[in-house]
Chains A and B, each alone.
Chain A
């Protein structure tokens, strides 16, 4: 029962009670990303503040538990941190997801996102986990361009 280990309690918690869900004003950039193979989608907004801080990450979307929980965890991790820190987490998360289950996760960097380690063993689901995170990276870049 490999998949049951993929559905960590923390993932199910975030899926059932998503953090920071819903699109909010103000924002610097909004992006819309889709996963054409399964139809999962996310709309995500980023508001940056002075001092390189991320003031808010708001989002809405539809999809499986993995994609929705990943967006919720992202919200928790990125909001209030600096752009630089959050992008480092995105990079580490991407490395973990694309590691086919062979990559040792850096829990110090990833925090709660380490719960997704089991997803990396399911190539078909990696895109679900990465959807919101790739959208976030895109939105941050656009926010910085807009500034």
Chain B
């Protein structure tokens, strides 16, 4: 697709960005020295609309109590709001049942929770058996949160950790799929959309092979659920992890979706209050899902805030969000390609990729790029390895500069980025 004909500004492409920006008060603030804020770091964490802020504030002001255990009026209002957030999130990702939505503190916890179920002596379910000779499959483009929990699992159980390589273009290399995912494979866990490359991975061929060999499959959807319509029934995987703060919701709240029959078979991850059915001094029985996995007082207001975030995104329309970001990405890929000495790390086109674009500038370290962009132009990008060090090693680079777009970004902001990069080159040239 050519990109220059798409101008995702107010009144075009269906998304009224100017109106949307009014929902995000932080975008209008000035930085010290009178610089306007140009926020291009939503893959790191997104900003929050007033609808989310007001919902959380209103709950704290008028309804707050503990959930699930307080019999008084506030307790039941809080419980109702908390559980209704679960309903909203279940509907948002197409979960067949609300009980399949587990609140965690982030996507990392969700992945750790699943990893904990494998090779666990308290879990006799055959699907979670894991030991020496068994294999776990991830990929080279994973965020550390989808690498380290599996490394820990391999160390605990003696299982072998294997991974899909990444092509020069930044795509998952599945040419060795049939050998890599085999009869010894117990779980395949890959990222849905890369937080560095922007690549959106095709799930179906890998899932088909996993099913063939009887392995389970998990998706790290932290970067996809905020940016496109995701339906777990359509995807067909077994587990899906994502986090609230990247989808206009608050931090401190994440989600694990899992197939009910698997969640039922899995052992509790954290023990504590509200995850039990009955407790004796020497043993306990556990609450049914989702509460089996929600030990202790949960992030109540954060969960309710995430419910409001889902309402907000639904009201805008996820297809609209995706279309807008695609137009921005096309615009940015074209504009960045014009900068001499700039190399994009990841797909150069908009097919099967999201609005996250990472790049290197010849002879200039990303930390220097980020510092000048921020300090001179108020442009917030992320620099470093973005918690994906193995991927950077794969490309033989220590770090990249990453720009990432969301529903509130404009082509003007991309123009500002391009001007900023030209200035960076002048300073260090």
Contacts and interface: CB of A to CB of B under 8 A. Distances in A.
B368 A65 contact: yes
Contacts of A62: 398
A4 B375 contact: yes
A15 B428 contact: yes
Contact of A3 (B365, B371, B398, B428): B371
B122 to A, nearest CB: 35
A65 B425 CA distance: 13
Interface in A27-42: 37-41
B428 A39 contact: no
Contacts of B368: 7, 64-66
B389 interface: yes
B309 to A, nearest CB: 29
B427 A125 contact: no
Nearest to B392: A39
A63 B398 contact: yes
Contacts of A15: 428
A1 B376 CA distance: 5
Interface string B383-416: 0110001001000001100000000000000000
Interface residues of B, number: 19
B367 A7 contact: no
Contact of A7 (B366, B398, B427): B427
Given A1-B376, A12-B427, A39-B398, A122 B371 contact: yes
B289 interface: no
B428 A12 contact: yes
Interface in A51-66: 62-66
A41 B365 CA distance: 13
B8 to A, nearest CB: 30
B428 A1 contact: no
A3 B371 CA distance: 7
A3 B367 contact: no
A3 B372 contact: yes
B384 A38 contact: yes
Contacts of B367: 38, 63-64, 66, 125, 128
Interface in A79-123: 122
Nearest to B427: A7
